C-alpha cells in the first residue's frame, strides 16, 4: 500500500468514502464511520454530500453491486480482498446509480484508489472490470422475476434474503417490490414545526423566501417535507429551535397518546427526544414529562434538545426502564429497541446488520418491556406501544400476546386520532414507505380499564 496519502494522485473524497465503507463492513454504524473519517478532514459541504451519497449508496446497494461485478470477473468465484471489493463497489455504484459522475472519471478514480490502497496488479483488474462494464452493460442477467421472485428482488434491490422472504409472505410480490424500491430512494428531510416558538405559516414563509421547495405533511400538519439536500436553513430553523428534524411517522404515536396540558406522562425510552419534545409541544409546555433512558449521554441529548426548543416540563431520569419505579401515570409511551426495518431508507447499514436471530432476541426483550411498562399506567390511563419496524413479530404479535396476559387492558382504535387510512381492522397504526410516503412504523393505543 502506498503512503503517505499526499504522495499518490487520488481523490481524497472517494478515499474517505472507501475508508468509511471499510469500517461499516466491519460492523460500525454508518453515522459513526462517517463521523470518524471526517474528523481530521476539511471537506467542503459539496464534497461531504458527495461522500455521503457514495457511502450510503454503495452500502445500501452492496448485494446488487456484488451481483453485477461477478459478471465482469474472469473468475467469478475469485475471492477479492476487502479493499479491492469495496473499490469495485464504489466504482460500479458511480457507473450504475449516479447521473452526475462521468463514466471515465468513475473508472480512472477507481483505478487511482486501487493504486493507493491495493497494488498495481489489482489496479489493472479494476480498470479491466470497469471498462468491461462500460462496453457490455447488458452482460448482467437477473433471475426471472416470476419464476424466482425472492432471488430477483433480493439481488436487484439489494436486500438480505430473509427480509425479502418475510415481505413476500406478508405483502405479496408486487407490494414487496414497491416497498423495496421505496427504501432505495434518496431520503428526504422532514421538519416538525415547534409551535411553542413559531408557527407553521412562519416556517413555510421562511422556506419560500429562500426558494426551498417543501410540501405539507401527508397526515400531520406540524410536519413539512423538505425537498432540498442537507438541512436547509439549519441555523435559522434547527439551531434556533423553530423546527426539529423528525419523520412524520414518529409523530403518530404521540397523536395516539393524545397528551393533555397539565398531564403526567412518562416516556420510557426517550432518547434522543423526538417523541418526548413533541409530547411537550402538544401539552403546550404545561404538566410533567418523565423522560427515562438508561444512557446518561443520550439523556443529555434529550435535555439539550428540550432547551433548544424552549421546553421546560421534561424531567430526565437515568435508569433502565425495567428497574424504573414511578407513577402511576396518565399517559405511558413505550418505544422499545427493535430491528428498525421501517427506517431502512435512512440507515444504509441496517439491512446487513440485522439478522433473523436479532429479531428473535428483540421480541423477548419487547415482551418483557411491554409488561413492565403497563404497570406504570393508572386505571383509566393510556398506554401506547410504538416501534419503527414493520414486522408482525415485533408489532401486532407483541401487543396481542400482551392483551392475552393482561385482560385489564383493551385496544382503543387509532381512527379517532389519526387518518383512518393508516389504521388496520384491529385499530393499530401501520405505515410503509411505498404506500404512505413515510418511514415504516407501528403503534397501538391501549387503555387500562378502571376496574379489574
Answer whether residue 51 shows pLDDT above 50. Answer: yes
**285 part of a folded domain:** yes
* Domain extent for 73: 5-139
**Average pLDDT of every residue of the chain:** 94
Q: How many domains does the chain have?
A: 4
Q: Which of 228, 245, 262 is the last residue of a domain?
A: 245
Asked if 90 contacts 82 with a C-beta cutoff of 8 angstroms, the reply is no
For residues 372 and 390, give the distance between their C-alpha atoms in angstroms, rounded to a whole number.
Answer: 23
Is 359 found in the same domain as 218? no
Is 196 found in the same domain as 178? no
What's the pLDDT tens digit per position in 70-84? 999 988 888 899 999
Is 263 found in the same domain as 240? no
How does DSSP assign 380-408, residue by residue?
Answer: EEEEEEEES---GGGTHHHHHHHHHH-TT
Answer whether residue 86 shows pLDDT above 60. Answer: yes
Is 207 found in the same domain as 234? yes
Res 394: pLDDT = 98
**144 part of a folded domain:** no
Asked if 26 contacts 344 with a C-beta cutoff of 8 angstroms, the reply is no
Q: What is the CATH number of the domain that holds 268?
A: 3.40.50.150
Is 387 found in the same domain as 252? yes
Res 385: pLDDT = 98
**316 part of a folded domain:** yes
Is 302 found in the same domain as 157? no
Is 154 found in the same domain as 109? no
pLDDT grade for 452, boundaries at 50, 70 and 90? low
Is 334 found in the same domain as 352? yes
Q: What is the CATH number of the domain that holds 94?
A: 1.10.940.10
Beta strand extents in 303-428 (DSSP E only): 314-318, 329-334, 377-387, 409-412
At which residue does the C-alpha cell 425510552 appear? 269
What's the pLDDT tens digit per position in 332-355? 999 999 999 999 998 999 999 999
Asked if 24 contacts 30 with a C-beta cutoff of 8 angstroms, the reply is yes
Is 336 found in the same domain as 234? no
Which DSSP state fits 101? S
pLDDT grade for 6, boundaries at 50, 70 and 90? very low
Q: Which of 191, 278, 277, 187 is nearest to 234 (CA)?
A: 191
What's the pLDDT tens digit per position in 214-259? 999 999 999 999 987 788 999 999 999 999 999 999 999 999 999 9
Helix (H, G, I), strand (E, B) or coil at 150: helix
Answer whether residue 192 shows pLDDT above 50. Answer: yes
Is 428 found in the same domain as 341? yes
Q: What is the CATH number of the domain that holds 219?
A: 3.30.70.1170
Q: Which residues contact 220 (CB under 8 A, 6 or more apart)?
A: 248, 251, 252, 255
Amino acid at each position: 500500500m502506498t503512503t503517505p496519502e499526499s504522495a499518490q494522485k487520488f481523490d481524497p473524497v472517494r478515499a474517505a468514502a472507501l475508508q468509511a465503507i471499510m469500517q461499516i463492513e466491519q460492523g460500525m454504524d454508518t453515522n459513526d464511520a462517517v463521523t470518524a473519517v471526517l474528523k481530521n478532514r476539511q471537506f467542503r459541504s459539496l464534497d461531504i454530500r458527495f461522500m455521503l451519497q457514495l457511502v450510503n449508496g454503495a452500502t445500501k446497494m452492496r448485494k446488487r453491486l456484488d451481483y453485477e461485478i461477478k459478471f465482469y470477473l474472469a473468475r467469478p468465484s475469485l475471492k477479492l480482498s476487502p479493499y479491492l471489493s469495496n473499490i469495485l463497489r464504489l466504482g460500479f455504484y458511480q457507473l450504475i446509480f449516479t447521473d452526475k459522475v462521468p463514466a471515465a472519471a468513475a473508472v480512472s478514480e477507481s483505478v487511482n484508489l486501487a493504486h493507493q490502497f491495493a497494488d498495481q496488479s489489482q489496479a489493472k483488474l479494476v480498470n479491466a472490470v470497469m471498462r468491461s462494464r462500460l462496453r457490455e452493460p447488458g452482460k448482467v442477467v437477473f433471475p426471472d422475476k416470476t419464476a424466482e421472485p425472492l432471488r430477483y428482488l433480493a439481488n436487484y434491490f439489494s436486500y438480505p434474503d430473509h427480509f425479502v422472504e418475510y415481505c413476500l409472505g406478508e405483502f405479496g410480490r408486487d407490494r414487496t417490490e414497491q416497498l423495496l424500491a421505496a427504501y432505495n430512494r434518496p431520503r428526504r428531510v422532514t421538519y416538525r414545526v415547534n409551535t411553542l416558538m413559531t408557527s407553521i405559516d412562519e416556517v413555510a414563509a421562511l422556506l419560500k423566501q429562500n426558494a426551498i421547495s417543501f410540501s405539507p405533511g401527508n397526515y400531520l400538519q406540524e410536519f413539512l417535507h423538505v425537498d432540498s439536500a442537507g438541512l436547509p436553513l439549519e441555523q435559522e430553523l434547527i439551531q434556533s429551535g423553530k423546527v426539529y428534524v423528525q419523520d412524520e411517522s414518529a409523530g403518530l404515536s404521540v397523536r395516539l397518546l393524545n397528551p393533555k396540558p397539565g398531564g403526567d406522562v412518562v416516556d420510557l425510552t426517550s432518547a434522543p427526544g423526538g417523541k418526548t419534545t413533541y409530547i411537550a409541544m402538544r401539552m403546550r409546555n404545561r404538566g410533567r414529562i418523565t423522560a427515562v433512558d438508561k444512557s446518561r449521554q443520550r439523556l443529555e441529548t434529550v435535555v439539550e434538545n428540550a432547551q433548544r426548543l424552549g421546553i421546560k416540563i421534561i424531567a430526565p431520569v437515568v435508569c433502565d426502564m425495567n428497574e424504573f419505579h414511578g407513577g402511576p401515570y396518565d399517559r405511558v409511551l413505550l418505544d422499545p429497541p427493535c430491528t428498525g426495518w421501517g427506517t431502512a431508507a435512512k440507515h444504509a447499514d441496517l439491512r446487513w446488520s440485522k439478522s433473523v436471530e436479532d429479531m428473535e432476541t428483540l421480541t423477548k426483550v419487547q415482551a418483557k418491556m411491554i409488561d413492565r411498562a403497563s404497570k406504570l399506567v393508572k386505571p383509566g390511563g393510556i398506554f401506547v406501544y410504538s416501534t419503527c419496524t414493520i414486522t408482525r413479530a415485533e408489532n401486532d404479535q407483541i401487543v396481542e400476546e400482551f392483551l392475552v396476559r393482561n385482560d385489564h387492558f383493551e385496544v382503543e382504535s387509532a381512527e379517532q386520532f389519526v387518518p383512518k387510512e393508516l389504521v388496520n381492522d384491529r385499530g393499530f397504526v401501520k405505515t410503509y414507505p411505498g404506500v404512505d410516503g413515510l418511514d415504516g412504523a407501528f403503534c397501538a393505543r391501549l387503555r387500562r380499564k378502571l376496574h379489574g
